[in-house]
Amino acid sequence: MKKGLIVTLIIVLVVSLFSGCSSSLATDNGKRAILVVSFGTSYNDSRALTIEATENRIKDEFPDYDIFRAFTSQIIIDKLKNRDNLDINNVLQAMEQLKKDKYSEVYIQPLHVINGEEYNDLLNQANNYKDSFNTLRIGKPLLSSTEDYQKAIDALKDKFSNLEKNEAVVFMGHGTPHIANAQYSELSYMLHDEGYSNVFVGTVEGYPTIDNVISRLNEKNIEKVTLMPFMLVAGDHANNDMAGDESDSWKTILKKDGFEVTTYIHGLGEVKGIQDLYVEHLRNLIDGLYEPEENK
């Protein structure tokens, strides 16, 4: 009889404890967080000008939220830990931390450029935490709607508004085997439709390649080319694959074909108009203007 009473009490206690836990996570306690997610970079100087600058913009624009950082590249995270003793969370670690700290509203803003593999992984990882927060919303990468392309072009147009007939700007995008690689062609198409017919987009790891770009340059009798990265950060690809004194950098390849080449080594994250676009995406997200993202 006595034993039965004790067992009953224990069961009641355990059940109430568990129910207490789950209700505390879902409670709207007013704690609000923004998680800014980027691929990351080991280039400290460029990181300060791009990722940190964008994060700081978000801090300024959303003063009522706690702002956190996560990188998606574990290689970069490990490198920064080993090299600089810098602790940066990956997405799962960041979500666990937000859950532990009992945030009730969480908004994730990716600083990715296209809706590719990295973004899909982010969606998959973050959506596992849907039930851990009262509100969990995941924002969109830079180029996610037709208007985004137009706004990104507007943000960058001072770099290519006054090109002579024989001058071109060639953007170096990253490129991916993911279907979203087509976004680079969409960007190129829209640039031309907006009247910037001497602006071309190539990729390091996808289509169009630099050889495809050179064909377009030759078709238009282009003689002078300015190379710019279409990447958030001016890291390894911009410094070496694009502008490096290396036998297979884009600069060298173009010069060997007789083009006059100048390089502009600045990441998109440095451009105020691009930061504005990320901020706008985040504001729309918080205001509930986006449909919830499902796993893709």
Partner 1 sequence: MKNMSLKTLFTIGLIAILTLFVLRSPIENLIKNTEKLDTHKYAIDFIDDSGHRIKMDKPATKIISLYSAHTENLFAIDAGKNILGIGRADAYPMEVFNLTRYDYRADPEKILAANPDLVLIRPFIERKTPDFVNSLRRSGINVVSLYPTKFSDFDDYILKLGMISGKEKYAQKKLNEFHEKIEEFKKFNSRFKDHPGVYFESSETGYTTVTSDSMPASAIKIAGGNFIANDAEPIEGSSIASYGIEKILQKANDIDIFISQRGVMGAGGNIHSITIRPGFKGIKAVKDNKVFEISQKIISSPTFRFLKGIHEVSRIIHPDYFDNLSNMISQNNTTNRDLAKLVVKYKHKVYFVPTSSYFRKEYNGHTYGKFDDLEFSDPDFDFIETAVSSGYMDTNKIDGIEYFYPEKEITKEEFAKSLYLISDLRKQTIHKEIKDSNDCKNLKIIQIIVDNNIMKLENGKFNPKDNISMKDAIQTLNKLKNTAKQ
Locate all alpha helices (DSSP H) within the chain, ordered by sequence: 2-26, 44-49, 51-61, 74-84, 91-100, 117-127, 146-156, 182-193, 210-219, 236, 250-256, 272-286
Nearest distance in Å: CB 267, partner 1 = 11
Residue 178 bears catalytic tag = no
Neighbours of 89 (CB within 10 A): 18
- With contact defined as beta carbons under 8 Å apart, do 70 and 93 qualify? yes
Q: Tell me which stretch binds partner 1 (CB under 8 A): 31-39, 41-49, 194-202, 276-284.
A: 41-49
Considering only residues 77 to 116 of the shown chain, the ones binding partner 1 according to CB under 8 A are 79, 82-84
Residue type at 222 in one-letter notation? I
- With contact defined as beta carbons under 8 Å apart, do 58 and 281 qualify? no
Q: Which of 87, 131, 245, 291 binds partner 1 (CB under 8 A)?
A: 245
Q: Determine the Cα–Cα distance for residues 203 and 231; give it in Å rounded to an integer.
A: 10
Nearest distance in Å: CB 91, partner 1 = 24
Give the residue with the Cβ less far from partner 1, 66 or 270. 270
Q: In terms of Cα–Cα distance, which of 259, 203, 265 is closest to 228?
A: 265
CA distances to 11, 246, 251 from 256, rounded to whole Å, are 78, 12, 9
Indicate whether 212 belongs to the interface with partner 1 (CB under 8 A).
no
Considering only residues 157 to 186 of the shown chain, the ones binding partner 1 according to CB under 8 A are 166
Q: Which of 178, 252, 280, 283 binds partner 1 (CB under 8 A)?
A: 252
Helix (H, G, I), strand (E, B) or coil at 216: helix
Indicate whether 219 belongs to the interface with partner 1 (CB under 8 A).
no
The single residue of 112, 174, 178, 281 carrying the catalytic annotation is: 174
Indicate whether 223 belongs to the interface with partner 1 (CB under 8 A).
yes
Give the residue with the Cβ less far from partner 1, 264 or 290. 264
Sheet holding 66-71, edge to edge: 66-71, 32-38, 105-110, 135-138
DSSP state of 183: H
Indicate whether 247 belongs to the interface with partner 1 (CB under 8 A).
yes
- To the question of whether residue 205 is assigned a binding role by annotation, the answer is yes
- To the question of whether residue 112 is assigned a binding role by annotation, the answer is no
Give the residue with the Cβ less far from partner 1, 2 or 256. 256
Indicate whether 249 belongs to the interface with partner 1 (CB under 8 A).
yes
Indicate whether 239 belongs to the interface with partner 1 (CB under 8 A).
yes
Nearest distance in Å: CB 258, partner 1 = 3
Torsion of CA 159, 162, 163, 165, to 10 degrees: 160
Indicate whether 43 belongs to the interface with partner 1 (CB under 8 A).
yes
Q: Which positions touch partner 1 (CB under 8 A)?
A: 43-46, 49, 79, 82-84, 166, 223-224, 234, 239, 243, 245-249, 252, 255-260, 262, 265
Q: Which are the catalytic amino acids?
A: 174
Which amino acids are annotated as binding site for Co(2+), given as ranges? 174, 205, 237
